[in-house]
Amino acid sequence: MKTLFACLLCLLSLQLSAQKKQYNQFYQYGIADAFLAGLYHGTLTVKDMKPHGDFGLGAPDMLDGELMILDGKAYQSRSTGQTTVMADTAKVPLVLSTNFKADTVFYINTPADKKDAFAQINQYLTKANGLYAVRITGEFALVKTRAFPPVTTEPFLPLASMLDKQKFFTTENVKGTLMGFKLPAYLSSVTIAYFHFHFLSADKSKGGHVTDVKVAKVMVEIANLTGMNIEIPQDKYYQNFDFSTVKKGDAIKAETQIK
């Protein structure tokens, strides 16, 4: 009888947990303009980040590489080229995530460069002001990624002024996943608009912010995000940040590596 009761409690707990989990809601911690201007202090723990999304991307504490979230696990790719699972106690200054559930799936079965692949994806992103999460899984002929080294001396430089410090990595004939978003222009100061992808290899040994890609044979999954939750950091760095110092165009420079 006790065993049956325990099983029923366990089942009820699982059902309540499933009910609480909301899919395809866009979550962001931090504000992109502040991060790009040099607010690299991590103030959200990975443990507190995870319930908001099992899929996404972001930045580690003190800009020590790049952050990838895939299947509920958080990974950090450093400027050394090393990729590891992040501890629950690790902190992040910026994260974009969702509990991913695809409502559109299609395949690219012939080789395509970045421009062609994105054009094919765009055919399914029909809402000009829509929020989309995009997961691309399969075989890649080439993936180029970048990662920034950790910052140590304050005041920290804006990301666009650190482009000479970023490290680039090229991987050919690799299996893995691109995780990313396409977000509308009207959110460009709050988040990172347009396409933004990070990569994680299938063996979890390589990753980073994607600067170029050539697909060989992949599955593309798209989730239409129907809601948005932006969490504002409460630390002194953010609360005292002067947004009037943000330079227009820095986001484009940082994301496209234009020096």
- Decide: helix, strand or coil at residue 162: coil
> CB-based contacts of 234: which residues, under 8 Å, 6+ apart?
43
Q: Is 39 exposed, middle or buried (0-12, 13-18, 19+ CB in 10 A)?
A: buried
Q: What is the pLDDT of residue 252?
A: 61
Measured at the CA of 57, the angle between CA 56 and CA 62, to 5 degrees, comes to 145
Q: What's this model's pTM, rounded to 2 decimal places?
A: 0.90
DSSP 86: P
End-to-end CA distance of the chain: 69
**Per-residue model confidence as pLDDT tens for the chain (259 residues):** 455 445 444 544 445 444 578 999 999 999 999 999 999 999 999 999 999 999 999 999 999 999 999 999 999 999 999 999 999 999 999 999 999 999 999 999 999 999 999 999 999 999 999 999 999 999 999 999 999 999 999 999 999 999 999 999 999 999 999 999 999 999 998 999 999 999 999 999 999 999 999 999 999 999 999 999 999 999 999 999 998 888 776 666 566 654 3
Taking the domains of the chain in order of start, what are their residue ranges? 22-256
User: What b/e sequence results for 68-103 when a residue is b if at least 16 CB atoms lie within 10 Å of its CB, and e otherwise?
Assistant: bbbeeebbbbbbeeebeebeeebbbbbbbbbbbebe
Distance CA 81, CA 9 (A): 45
CB 169 within 8 A of CB 144: yes
Q: Is 48 exposed, middle or buried (0-12, 13-18, 19+ CB in 10 A)?
A: middle
CATH class assigned to 22-256: alpha beta
CB 59 within 8 A of CB 198: no
DSSP 242: -
> CB-based contacts of 115: which residues, under 8 Å, 6+ apart?
none
Distance CA 94, CA 64 (A): 12
